[in-house]
Structures are given as structure tokens and as C-alpha cells.
Amino acid sequence: MEDLVAAFVENELGRHDWASNWAAWKTKHQNYLDKIRGFFHQLGEDVNPEEVARYLDQMILTRPGRWR
């Protein structure tokens, strides 16, 4: 899951302010779970978008600061 989330952060959110970008991205895309599913579908990955969202929310709590 870590590698998949890393790809999402790098390519969709942007690594420099990913935590703030994640909050803004969810607000901008009311159907954000569908957008997550679509992002990974283009990569040929079948993911549970709710799990990806939970993982990102948890990362904000456990990994504050810059993307590492």
C-alpha cells in the first residue's frame, strides 16, 4: 500500500505540501473516492479507494512535515 500511496502523492497531490494538498483535493473533488479509483485504474491497479484515503489520513497524523 505504501508504494501505491506514494505514487498517488507524487503524481496527484504533489509532494511539497501533500498534507494540505490532500485536504484541498478532497474538498475540490466531492467524488474523491471515485477519483482515487480512476487514478489507480489508469495505472492498471485495482485498489480500495477508502483504504487509500484512510492511509493518507493516517499519514498526516503519523508523518507530519515534508514528504519523505
C-alpha cell at 24: 484541498
- pLDDT tier, 65 (very low <50, low <70, confident <90, very high otherwise): low
C-alpha cell at 56: 493518507
Mean pLDDT of 6-18: 90
What pTM did the predictor assign?
0.86
Q: What pLDDT sits at residue 16?
A: 83
Spell out the domain ranges in the chain: 2-62
Backbone angles phi, psi at 67, to 5 degrees: -65, 130
Q: pLDDT at residue 68 above 60?
A: no
Q: What pLDDT sits at residue 60?
A: 87
- pLDDT tier, 42 (very low <50, low <70, confident <90, very high otherwise): very high
